[in-house]
Amino acid sequence: MSKEIFALSSGYLKKVVPLLMKYQVPATPPNYALWYTYVANADNELSKKIDESIKETGTLSPTLSEELYNTHVADEKVKDVDEFQRGLQALALEMGNTMEDTLKDTATFQNTLDKTFSQLARVGEEALSMEETVAVVRKAVKGSNELRQSTNFFKSQLADAQKEISRLKETLQQANDDALHDALTGIYNRRAFDTELETLAAKPPPKGFSLLLCDLDHFKSFNDTYGHLMGDQVLKLTAKRLSDYCRDGINAYRYGGEEFALLVPNRALSGGCRVAETIRATIDKLAIKDKKTGKKLDNISVSIGVAEYEKGESIRNLISRADAQLYEAKNLGRNRVMPVT
């Protein structure tokens, strides 16, 4: 490494540490790599997204940090899945070879056994001596022992394979658990929501933030009537409409089941309610077609509860207040936003 490159790299690192401290970003290796790429202007798209986040929220959340790192720097999730696939391939190859060897040993023993029975048949026909008879039996016993060893080894391999499969399943499950997005809808999941909300509460944006809890109306009845496949389509379309509205720092999450959440930075209660009303009206216009009957289903609506974060309150209390407003919206007839501002 030349002195010029070393000096340049050192200069970048000296810029990274103050930025991590300024925006209260944990000094983890992935974050170092992420912000090093940022100060080096090595990825314009990455720099743009970081600048937008800082402008809207005053920081870079753990959720966004992880996503940007995975997308622009390392993509560790793909590595985890690749490792899982390679492990399965190696396991299948090893088990295939072991099974092939065992089948060969079985065929050999079968051949030995056939010859032994043929020779034993001669005992009565040709009056073989005792020594010749014992030799024939010993040969069969030897073949049996060899096959037993082969099958015992195969059994041991199966036990080892079972352990390896369990380990690989845990690896894949961990990769899935660490993922930021909901598998069905593609938007952020509950894990991402919890992380983001905790970060916002620890360092609220300059103008605070609001939490929106959204619940599809009569969704259980919809599933019972039209089936879960149609229900999944509704969830996907709802998530798509929420994603389309995600700008100016707003993020949407699948909170659980038919419930979604949005975190709206730099919006007080009235601003959060306006966002919620726009979303409610948009989803109220959703119409999907039942492929079985060709009938359009336009009875999709959502109820939304809104709460503005109060400085110093617990996350649990904020969620509880938003949930209470959601319950009130349901109680008053659904397809509405509460509170009314």
* Residue 289: strand pairing partners: 296
Radius of gyration, CA atoms only, the chain: 32
* CB 280, CB 304: distance < 8 Å: yes
DSSP 213-224: EEEETTHHHHHH
Angle at 244 between CA 242 and CA 248, to 5 degrees: 95
Helices (H), the chain: 3-22, 29-39, 44-57, 62-68, 76-126, 130-178, 190-202, 219-226, 228-244, 269-284, 315-331
- Annotated active-site residue 310? The verdict is no
> Residue 329, Cβ neighbours under 10 Å: how many?
27
CB-count burial class (<10 Å; 0-12, 13-18, 19+) for 307? buried
> Residue 240, Cβ neighbours under 10 Å: how many?
14
From 132, 258, 259, 308, the catalytic residue = 258
Report how far residue 337's alpha carbon sits from residue 341's, in angstroms, rounded to the nearest whole number.
10
Report how far residue 140's alpha carbon sits from residue 146's, in angstroms, rounded to the nearest whole number.
10
Residues assigned a catalytic role? 258
